[in-house]
Structure 1
Amino acid sequence: MTRAIRAAVPPGVVLDGELIVWERGRTNFAQLQRRVTAGRDLLRLARECPAHYVLFDLLADTGGQVILDLPLSQRRAQLEQLLAGAPAQLTVTPQTTDLRQVADWLLHWTAAAGIEGVVSKRLSGRYEPGRRGWSKFRTRIVTEAIVGGVTGDLSRPESVLLGRFDRRGRLRYTGRSHPLTSAQAGELAESLSPPRMPCRGEAHPWPQPLPASWSGQLDRPEPLQYVQVEPTVVAEINADVAFEHGRWRHRVRYARLRADLSVYDVPLLLGEEEGYFGDLG
């Protein structure tokens, strides 16, 4: 990637963008994360799963002149001109003023390609470092998951650890919620119970503590201490579509307890190639 940038971008240019890795037509953030701790395997990973640099903005032009005060429309035009002959690894993010096109992206691209949503910016806006001069609209789904553990304690859960059964009937960890409200914690606590004694040598299916690699968060890499619970409680959740390798990359929002549902009513955890997003709606 650095070679492609050096070859296509003159010295002095300052770009704003994001690295992504494509795998089978979808973005794969986990593959990008693996490079952080890859060590000697870094070059092999880069060859097997090459990264692409998606450009959002141009902050300094070919002469090294800072252009933050130019309107976005002019910065965008210069960025497109700069990358007109660049290799496919360097690409400008799609942009449109057509709301029908935006709706199509939200409806189809997010599910098919694993893209989280769209960003709205003013064409006349300047680039303001340190300030968020834009709004992001994520595609979100309402679905169900099984509570397999909590942080805090059973009487005062702080967040929930969620799972789904795979085709073999094993409860697989799928993600963690944002902190619960006091009302949510109180309602949920009444339904939680510790795991029953192991039957036929089968214990709780998740390790204690939860491995750092399971969380997918770079800002908190240490293992997570939590309280295991009997996986009989179903929660309704609100999640975005950043779902990779059987897990939600971002924390989900706990909505409510679904006492009317059995754990066997929760959608199975399917491989992404099998159409996990079939339960969107």
Structure 2
Amino acid sequence: MLAKPVDALPRGAGCVFEPKFDGFRAVVFRQPEQIFVQSRAGRPLHGYFPDIVRVVRTAMPPGVVLDGELIIWAGDRTDFGLLQRRLGAGSTVGRLARQHPAHLVVFDLLQGSDGAPLLNRPLAERRRALTELLTDPPPELVLCPQTTDREEAAEWLRGWHAAGVEGVVAKGASGRYLPGRRGWLKYRHRTTTEAIIGGVTGQLGQPETLLLGRYDAQGRLRYTGRSHPLRAAQRRELIPLLLPGAAQTTGHPWPQPLPAAWSGQLPHPEPLPYHQVPPVLVAEISVDTAFEQHRWRHRVHHLRIRMDLGVDDVPPLAG
């Protein structure tokens, strides 16, 4: 079951809230002879997470099907990059699992140990069964916090985002589990900041998205992310600012096309053709907390051009 993004923390009777951790969504099948871990897209993940397979085999009775989020802690916050490293680890995946063990934050029980599906049961009933199942869990299996208090959920947004909680998911306590349906609501923690426009997709006379960057400590403009598609009014504002400098891109700091590895998109990133522009315009943007390896992993929202700011006013990359 999926969640639909919304622009405000939901309200309403019968609504429960859960923190959204920054990880890999996973459904875990505890079968009698094997453990199967499936990604949101149906991709098998159990080969990349032998640590989770071991703990589920030890702690969960056969027949159980869990829904949750795979995360890896790095100090006091989750590290999405360590999850991605698992996917390319090959024969070293066991070593990575020992160095940086994964955790499964469990938020739903889809099938009990008797093999009976629970999809048509209300969420409140599934939650009670899950809580009983995880009465004394190993530390690698974490019962996801849940509350009916909207103010407590708002406090999670204010206080937990530094630890890797990227938002809050709102669910109906009486709702059934509907695979593939966006029956839940997801509100991401967002903040406003600035970045430098280094390129655009589409045409200079009809830009579609912005490619953004920030300077590092060595004075290099590093690619940091891409915007959502621009609205018509934003394109109209931007076009006269882009065209006068369109031919002044000699010595641009980014390659053309943008390398596939820079996009950070899974599972099949491809090189991205774009138009280079002189890195002199500052964009005010709205971003979430998923910032890894000097890049916003999710697309950002362009708000407006900041003509009152120069590139030296943009926060530099740390590290």
Q: Is the 8 A contact 2:249 2:277 kept in 1?
A: no
* 1:160-179 deviation line (CA, Å, top 9, x unaligned): 11011123322111110011
Task: Choose from 166, 183, 190 the match for 1:140.
Answer: 190
Alignment of 1:1-281 (within 5 A): 1-110=52-161, 112-192=162-242, 193-194=245-246, 196=248, 203-271=251-319
More relative contact order, 1 or 2 (CA 8 Å, 6+ apart): 2
CA distance in 2, matches of 1:164, 1:39: 33
Q: Is the 8 A contact 1:8 1:83 kept in 2?
A: no
Q: Is the 8 A contact 1:176 1:252 kept in 2?
A: yes
Residues 266, 12 of structure 1: alpha-carbon distance in 2 compared, 3 angstrom cutoff = same
CA distance in 1, matches of 2:229, 2:151: 35
Q: Is the 8 A contact 2:213 2:221 kept in 1?
A: yes
CA distance in 1, matches of 2:95, 2:255: 30
CA distance in 1, matches of 2:122, 2:228: 37
Which secondary structure does the structure 1 equivalent of 2:182 belong to?
A: coil
Structure 1: runs of 5 or more not aligned = 272-281
Q: CA deviation at 1:197?
A: 6.3
TM-score by length of 1: 0.89
Q: Is the 8 A contact 2:249 2:276 kept in 1?
A: no
Residues 227, 220 of structure 1: alpha-carbon distance in 2 compared, 3 angstrom cutoff = farther
Q: Is the 8 A contact 1:195 1:228 kept in 2?
A: no
* 1:183-236 deviation line (CA, Å, top 9, x unaligned): 3223212212247465xxxx3222222222221110441121222211001111
CA distance in 2, matches of 1:214, 1:197: 20
Deviates more, 1:159-168 or 1:34-43: 34-43
Higher strand share: 2
Please list every run of at least 4 consecutive aligned residues from structure 1 whose deviation after the TM superposition is greater than 3 angstroms: 194-198
Identity percentage of aligned residues? 59
Residues 40, 205 of structure 1: alpha-carbon distance in 2 compared, 3 angstrom cutoff = farther
Structure 2: runs of 5 or more not aligned = 1-51
Equivalent position of 2:11 in the other structure: none
Equivalent position of 1:279 in the other structure: none
Q: CA deviation at 1:88?
A: 0.8
CA distance in 2, matches of 1:233, 1:220: 31
> Which one-letter code corresponds to 1:49 in the other structure?
H
Pairs aligned (count)? 266
Deviates more, 1:32-41 or 1:229-238: 32-41
CA distance in 2, matches of 1:173, 1:47: 32
Q: Is the 8 A contact 1:120 1:135 kept in 2?
A: yes
> Which one-letter code corresponds to 1:229 in the other structure?
V
CA distance in 2, matches of 1:62, 1:204: 59
* 1:261-280 deviation line (CA, Å, top 9, x unaligned): 11111112224xxxxxxxxx
Which secondary structure does the structure 2 equivalent of 1:22 belong to?
A: strand
